[in-house]
Structure 1
Amino acid sequence: DLSDNQLNGSIPESFSDLPSLQKLSLENNLLTGSVPAIWWNVSFSTKARLKLDLRNNSLSNISGELNPPANVTLRLEGNPICKNASIQNVGQFCRSEAGGDGIPDSSTNSTQTMTCPSQACPTDNFYEYVPSSPVPCFCASPIIVEYRLKSPSFSYFPPYIQKFEMYLTRSLDLSLYQLSIDSIFWQEGPRLQMHLKLFPMFINPHSNTFNFSEVHRIRGVLTSWEFPRTDFFGPYELLNFTLLGPYSNMIVGPRRMGIRKGILAAIITGAVASFVILSATVVLLITRCSRHRDRPPSRRHSSSKITMKIDGVKVFTFKEMTLATRNFDSSTQLGRGGYGKVYRGILSDDTIVAIKRAEEGSLQGKKEFLTEIELLSRLYHRNLVSLVGYCDEEGEQMLVYEFMPNGTLRDWLCVKAKGSLSFGMRLQIALGSAKGILYLHNEANPPIFHRDIKATNILLDSNLIAKVADFGLSRLAPLQDDEGTGPSYVSTAVRGTPGYLDPEYFLTSKLTDKSDVYSLGIVFLELLTSVLPISHGKNIVREVNLAHQAGLMFSIIDSRMGSYPSECVERFLALALRCCYEKQDKRPAMLEVVRELENIIKIMPAADTIFSPSAASYSDQSPTSSSYLTRDTSYVSSSVIGSDLSSGVVPTIVPR
């Protein structure tokens, strides 16, 4: 049984050299190429049977003829070969009941028996039989869609095909049989690209194409915010929407409308009248401003309103924010940072949110406010905190985020924490954080350097899923040309948090993706030791390196993690120290970090990598931890000068 092992490549012909072979299970892998006739060289007795389960791979052809003996059970459903009508008898091996061994069909979109006459469906005009149609031999013309999941939460697709089909057809208001996944392939990221076919609904034998309004509607849903997003499948992008055959003359873009002369005259008249009114208004405003120019500015007038309308981001009024926080009562305050105070709020629909309110005169106020709205409105990933909306009234600047009931990672690592995290939980938090940053570096368009990765900016939801937060210091990465060349850094003033700062960025002012890698490496060391990055001027990287070189590595590991596999801890520590190399070019890329964490988790005992429900109750025990952001006052985002690197009085690393 070699099923569910992510095997790739072709199936070896040498399997036919095993005369006593009775069952070969290769289902749910990534195998490609042709199906070998394994039964050719096998001598069967009257009672002998051979079961070959090749379901849910990417097998596209057959070596020789597809005519195994009666005592050979062959299952091919879920492979592209099932859609190749030119292969004789392929249909009988692509039915869910083909195996006869009680194994259920793993995909609702299985292929129907290929008994339809090929000449009855004009393939030269882009028609084909609908594979899963409830009506036999329904010939229709599909819309071809090239679709990509930019950051799915899985790295192996077959177990989730049915779930994806239901998600996509429900989102597009189609029946399940109207979708056919033609092919899939993984790209670096990892990203999952797929070619889909969308078929019209069967109404009568002649209803074999979509009408214009349906084509326009489907494309509109795929290219708008109406398409629902899920954490599981992650963000997506529509790469191509191909209209061939009967659809080739359709134009589904915005239509241009001609303007009649009467309407044009009315527009010109209205424009002239508007100009006169506007001129009078300007004169009136200048007169009023001259009367009041000596008045001292209040907070109400100290900030111009930002008139931004962003899809998916709600604009809140100041009154709504006041009601949500009981007039910003101190009992609703969760924390305080360089930007301002953070409050727990309850909206009118009972949604609990975290509200960041900028303090008057904040040095990080308006610029970070604009940056965070612009960046977060374009980002969507299960490991990034979601922006719900913002408020820009009454001279206020507030950002409204999804509420993280389990506070910050630093809450869970501090000595006084009332809850504890096992090593497996810490690995999952590390992986979630790395995936969020990987999305920023590789999938965001344009890519983004976070610049302030730290334990207080990694938040935990009700299931202890890690989410990266606080994009106030983020910078857009430089764009590369078509050949992938160009600057890899941004020259910018050094900003960030002492203890997490990339040393090379501190010296050169050149910010790169490896600067975030360094900061995340510091977080990894915190996960292992629960010690703050700076201790009486001592740097956690140096202290851990010294302990490691002295053979005292396990003496510095946080004893609250309980038992753990020593090999996994060693690999995690080695990865953390690689991330913290002083030279940027020696550090791993974020993709390499994610892959190594996934490999470490694979060799962990299964029970140790699952979050315990009891662990997620920490927020109920400690009110101070139930926050969007609870900052250590020694680790506030700030402009950094040399003396800041040794600021703060915090515990040192001691053997445990």
Structure 2
Amino acid sequence: MLPTAKCSSGVQMLTLLLEIIKMKGMRFCGLFYAVLYGYLVLFAVAEITDPSEVSALVAVVSRLIDPMNYLGNWNKGDPCLSKWTGVLCFDTIDETDGHLHVQDLHLLNMNLSGSLAPELGQLSRLRILDFMWNNLTGSIPKEIGNLSSLVLLLLNGNRLSGSLPEELGKLSNLNRLQVDENNISGTIPKSFANLTSVRHFHLNNNSIAGQLPPELSNLPRLLHLLVDNNKLTGYLPPEYSELPTLHILQLDNNNFSGTEIPATYGNFSSLSKLSLRHCSLQGAVPDLSRIPGLYYLDLSGNQLTGPIPSNKLSDDMTTIDLSENSLNGSIPASFSDLPSLQRLSLDNNFLDGSIPASIWQNMSLSSSARLSLDLRNNNFSSVLGDLDPPNNVTLRLAGNPICTSANIPNIDQFCDSEAVDNETITKSNNSECPIHACPTDSFYEYVPESGDLCTCAAPLRVGYRLKSPSFSYFDPYANLFEAYVTNSLNISIYQLSVDSIAWEKGPRLRMYLKLFPHANSSTFNTSEVQRIRDIFTSWRFPGDELFGPYELLNFTLLGPYASINPETQRTGISKGVLAAILVAAIASAVVISAAVTFLMTRRHARNQRSLSRRRMSTKVSMKIDGVKGFKFKELASATDNFNRSTQVGQGGYGKVYKGILSDNTVVAIKRAEEGSLQGQKEFLTEIKLLSRLHHRNLVSLLGYCDEEEEQMLVYEFMPNGTLRDWLSENETYIQVNVARESGLMFSIIDNRMGSYPSECIERFVALALNCCHDKTEQRPSMSDVVRELETVLKMMPETDATFSESTSMHSGSKSTSAPASSSFMTRDQYFSSYVSGSDLVSDAIPIIPPR
């Protein structure tokens, strides 16, 4: 289905063009047809993205500070067709509305600051919202909860504050919620239990407080629950053990004071990592031997007591950290039968007995295998077996009675070592390759794993971090990791080099990856760069309980890739869709062209009728002393063809323009709009009414125009705004009313107006206030205003009041005199000449500051 909805917008544009042509007095010609047709085709194409989503994107960028100008093209063209940076659209037109819709918003690591706009909630089809690693502040808009299609909400690595909106619980399709490393406070909303599709909750490193909602145990697909480094209190919900798919439960550095670890936690069916470090937990270590795939256990830094359970843990176990507790008893014999063990930390407890040498004697002979045993500050007095661990085992015994025994040779080397065992890997280029064989710049390197020695290529450089790995040493799993990444990216194993790694607080494993092009090429092409980046940013790596969740830190494009902006290379729209857009645009233009012809024909016919009317009818006008009958051309020239820049007011009847006549007289011209035109007799009767009063404090009516189907009144121009505006201002209105009610009106009247009877002033003020009512129907009619002013003027001294009854009806003549005739309008430095009680002027509202 073609996007025919564009036609209505095109007609609106056409109408605007016709109005401009009408104002400028232009004539139609063949060239106009061609130009208009071309513009309409472009117009139809330009509206291809849903207008409400375009408006939302404009609002989003208005809230952002973009010092690097990454979003500089967000004001150019259509978001989908012009490929705005970070905006990815669906590649098909929606048949229901004829528009393309925004699919993803990728604004990763762009140094953006500012805040998130509530208008994000208008991107109704959005699947990925990615603002990771920027400097955003403010709160998370609750309107994001309206994005029912959202799959990835990625806001980590900013400075967002406030609480998590309850409305996020409506995101029924959400797979991943990442708000870690912000300043989020408040509690975790219970509404999050409604996120039945969610697999990843990454809420770590914030200030989230309160109780963990037990209701989260109802989430059927949850894999990772990371809420470490927050301010949680309360208890550990025992119901969490019922989560059928949970792999990682990481709640380190919270304060569950006085809480015990539920015994039910031994019933987890799929848990690979349990980390409850420094949580103020008490009680016993639970028996976790029934968890079949447990890799990693960290219960350090609590107040746990009693012995360590003796039942054998999973064969996959890599890490056991029970340090800094109050445990007693001996090391379980089952710890000697853990083939994958990498780290056993039991330091700073009250353990005693003998240390079983079988823990390291059964150690794998693999060159990559490593084992760290930290048994410091306990009560161990002997070793069961020979104290001769292999080189790949680190043993620490300081602070135990065994270190004072003279009967154990070489004991000192294990009692004096306090060094922390860190793991780092840094790879260098193949030393067998000749120096300078690659291009001299640093962007080309030897491919480390290439079967063809000394192959040069330019790698993609990727900053990558494992957020919660289930191991303590990477080297034994390096080959598995390389296979995992290359399979996910659909590249060969030799194309990946893990350039360096470093353990960070968490623990988290930061690494730099280098991805090399295929052996037949020295660089990746643009589409391949985009494909690889999309896999990283869309989290399309399969889940892995060993490596855990990952995050993309950066995707660096240097050297031959420097000119590629991956966010603007997303075409998103297929050639077929572009063809459909073009066809739709042409179809729209054809329809609009027909509308052009119709409107032009109707306009021409109307002009002919009007011309005929002007030529053939005898127009009745009147001659009034001091009131001039103006030609339409005179007033059009005075206002630059009624240019908007000359407009100074607007009301329900029409618009008010400031004009300069040929003799340099400045005037205010009230022009009635088509829907407000009176009959000719009624219009001339109103002019007669307006001309009946003359007074030095009433503004002069200078003339009128009643030709070319126009009705206009011309007044002396006064520069300081309208009577209604002045009296409607709160302070002024109160001041007038107080003075009126207290009988002190003369205290607020400008003495330049002269001295008048108090009854005159009272009646005049009452009339002025009535003329300023907000609702038109509450204002007095023109005849009522004139009668009241006549009454007031009759009460004044004769020298002040002048009445004119010298009006006579005649055919085809007009007055050319322009002395100071007056309407009933107030005249002094505070009141504008285009305000009165008449329907013609009383509802005029300035749209620009008074001049």
Please give the TM-score of this superposition, normalised by the length of structure 2: 0.20
Larger Rg: 2
Normalized per residue, the structure richer in helix is 1
Please give the TM-score of this superposition, normalised by the length of structure 1: 0.25
User: Which structure ranks higher in relative contact order (CA pairs < 8 Å, sequence separation ≥ 6)?
Assistant: 1
